Structure 1
Amino acid sequence: MLPTKRKIFTPSLQDQRHQFVFDHVRQNKPRKVADLGCSGGSLLRRLRFLPDISLLVGVDVQGELLTSMKYELRPLPSDYLQPRVNQLRVELFQGSVTQKDSRLRGFDLVTSIELIEHLTLDDVERFSSSLFGYMSPQVAIVSTPNSEYNPLLPGLAGFRHKDHKFEWTRAEFRSWALKVCCDYGYEVEFTGVGRAPPGQQDQVGFCSQIAVFRRLREGDRCNVWPGNDAEDLPYTKVASIIYPSLRDSNHLRGFLLCELFSCAKTLMTGSFVSVPLKILWSWSPKISELCESLSHLRNLLMDQPKVTLSQDGSAVIVKLENQGQDEDEDADN
């Protein structure tokens, strides 16, 4: 296990690995993301704040970790006060990464951070088949320790963790990754985190080596696991967590009311203000993004107790009297 008496990397090596994934997701905006071997869920907790992810899945063999994690991944009070624009569902599954579960197929991104070194070499082959042949994500990010860096780690004898079955050199990791590309139709880039001291980077490489796999065109792929009409579901679902979203009509109505009153105050000429729907539509970019049309906007507002439609339905009439008190009551509710 890595020495803990003094800090070797700042930020920590784990933080650097997770930041690498975070930056990739922020730049490439995958919608469906899965983390294999999610352990304590620190990567999932970081990724859940990115607005473009709609499905975030964690898989681990240790059920007790997942049970604890599901409480840590619950929506925060701020998630209800300021709901996301897009929907987010977080799901946790207990199972082995060598198993093939159809619910993990078709993802945009699958990560495996410091996982494969905990597998036997036979299980690494099963893992490769499951991840690249069966799940077949658009992108996969795999990291593992670089054994060439180990002599630079003070106090380290043997592997970095007692559960590691192996630790690869850069050449061994590259050999495995290129075979994956040949077998399953991917291309790969190599990088890493945890730089060596000045003058030693080329000699020993990164402390944690990373391969970013990208799937090639369908016609270039081989050894891909065929589709199966009968679903294979070996994983046990531990949790499914839904985050509040403006795509939900109740949250959307609350948001629209807040925007309506804000717009009405700028037009205020008395206790009652008439706000044309066209003006409200252009008031906030989110309104036109979330409402399909003016008629949809009208339907969302027409049943609200504090809002009255004009006779021709082209505007809403808002009562602003004692509005400060009303807003306090809304916040409490």
Structure 2
Amino acid sequence: MEPKPIFNPPLHQRRHQFVVDFIKRNKTKKVVDLGCCDCTLLHRLKFHHEIELLSGVDINGEVMKKKMRSLAPLPADYLQPGDRPLSIELYQGSVTQKDSRLRGFDLVTSIELIEHLQLADVELFSEVVFGFMAPVSVIVTTPNSEFNPLLPGLVGFRHFDHKFEWTRAEFQTWALKVCEEYGYEVYFTGVGLAPPGASPTPTKFGFCSQIGVFQRLGTTENACVMPSSDVDEVFSYTLLYSVAYPSLRDNNILQGVVVNEVMYWTERLRRERMEGRTREVDEDSQVQAGRHDVIVPLVQLWSCCPKVKDLCGTLSHFTQLLLDHPLVTLTQDATAVLVTDQRQDQEDAEYEDLEDTGCTETEQYFLSATQEDDWESEL
């Protein structure tokens, strides 16, 4: 185990921060975390606006099921949808098996995973990740066994499930072989240096967690090249969870947000018009005789609501979003919104109901009160 006095913040947070920093630098859009376990890294990544597709794979489905709901959208995500699409998918399966749904990603992360495999399965892992999935970039972290003497009380491996722990030379040998076989280049780094007082020197031990960052040859850091489509489709994983976040790129959601803005501003302008506190509406609006209906030109809404401009881009797109929407009534030429005083409509409806009973308003009230008295006496 990694003792807290040596690393603050803890080493697992530093590994995750390394991934976050990489994504920010490279504007990575599609990420899959192999061995995602309790989804801690995925939960952190979902808040980064660079990412549009986030996937996780783990062989232990029960662990994922306990934590996967933390990846669901928050109420605020529906109230204020973002301008980027975000989909999250969780799969149960082995990283030594192929699944076509995980091909063509920008980044694959393998954080402290490879040492949990049998050495015989490491070759399968290499073939699946670098040969079949063929992402633009891969980040692999694994314990550096040369650092182990500095961990107080450690006997054997750092975790009971570790099948091996590589030295820096062993890790680099494997990584360079992968690059040669599958067309990648790699640079080595890590997190968690030895304390200053370590003897003979801190650099002798290297990083506690060593990291290899692989880049596929022939690609830029922020452009994904899809692997060959000649490979047969394979679906060996079980989809446990899938969710799509609300996004303004969804036309229905965009329309709903725009309509809400229109309803707010038209009602505000109508009230100002009826209270005589606005000049623009006096010039551009019409009041129907005997009613409190107001016509608000779309160009007026366009000019007074910056959010509508940002959302729609053009006045014609704004108009198109309002057409045929059940909550918005446009004039016949589709150049203005007709706003009706709902209170007046309600009063008219109530008056019509009274006429249907054949009673005056006073009589209707008296009848209701009498009935209520009778019910009370029966109770």
TM-score, length-normalised on structure 1? Answer: 0.83
Distance (Å, rounded) in 1 between the aligned partners of 2:15 and 2:297: 50
How many Å apart are 1:55 and its aligned residue? 1.2
Distance (Å, rounded) in 1 between the aligned partners of 2:296 and 2:231: 57
- Identify the residue that residue 294 of structure 1 maps to in structure 2: 315
How many Å apart are 1:33 and its aligned residue? 0.8
- Identify the residue that residue 328 of structure 1 maps to in structure 2: none
Is 1:74 the counterpart of 2:75? The answer is: no
Residue among 242, 247, 250 paired with 2:249: 247
What amino acid maps onto 1:297 in structure 2?
Answer: F
How many Å apart are 1:103 and its aligned residue? 0.8
Higher helix share: 2
Q: Larger relative contact order (C-alpha < 8 A, sep ≥ 6)? A: 1
Deviations 1:42-97 (A, max 9, x none): 00001111123221110000111122233222222222222221221111111110
1:78-227 alignment runs, 5 A limit: 78-198=76-196, 200-217=201-218, 227=229
How many Å apart are 1:173 and its aligned residue? 1.3
SS at match of 2:20: helix
- Identify the residue that residue 59 of structure 2 maps to in structure 1: 61
How many Å apart are 1:258 and its aligned residue? 4.3
Distance (Å, rounded) in 2 between the aligned partners of 1:192 and 1:318: 63
TM-score, length-normalised on structure 2? Answer: 0.74
Between 93-102 and 165-174, the greater mean CA deviation after superposition: 165-174
Structure 2 stretches of 5 or more lacking a match?
220-225, 275-293, 344-379
Residue among 22, 35, 38 paired with 2:36: 38
- Identify the residue that residue 326 of structure 1 maps to in structure 2: none
Structure 1 stretches of 5 or more lacking a match?
219-223, 323-333
Distance (Å, rounded) in 2 between the aligned partners of 1:266 and 1:54: 38
SS at match of 1:309: coil
What amino acid maps onto 1:254 in structure 2?
Answer: G
How many Å apart are 1:41 and its aligned residue? 0.3
Q: Is the 8 A contact 1:149 1:204 kept in 2?
A: yes
How many Å apart are 1:176 and its aligned residue? 1.2
SS at match of 2:196: coil
CA 1:139–1:262: 2 relative to 1, 3 Å: farther
Cα RMSD (Å) of the superposition? 2.9
Q: Is the 8 A contact 1:307 1:319 kept in 2?
A: no
Identity %: 54
Between 270-279 and 197-206, the greater mean CA deviation after superposition: 270-279
Higher strand share: 1
Between 73-82 and 248-257, the greater mean CA deviation after superposition: 248-257
CA 1:321–1:7: 2 relative to 1, 3 Å: farther
Aligned length: 314
How many Å apart are 1:296 and its aligned residue? 3.1
Is 1:274 the counterpart of 2:275? The answer is: no
Q: Is the 8 A contact 2:270 2:339 kept in 1?
A: no
Is 1:2 the counterpart of 2:31? The answer is: no
Between 180-189 and 300-309, the greater mean CA deviation after superposition: 300-309
Q: Is the 8 A contact 2:32 2:109 kept in 1?
A: yes
CA 1:227–1:312: 2 relative to 1, 3 Å: closer
Higher Cα Rg, which structure: 2
Q: Is the 8 A contact 1:278 1:294 kept in 2?
A: no
- Identify the residue that residue 327 of structure 1 maps to in structure 2: none
How many Å apart are 1:14 and its aligned residue? 0.8
Deviations 1:139-181 (A, max 9, x none): 1111111111111111211111011111111121111111111
Q: Is the 8 A contact 2:258 2:311 kept in 1?
A: no
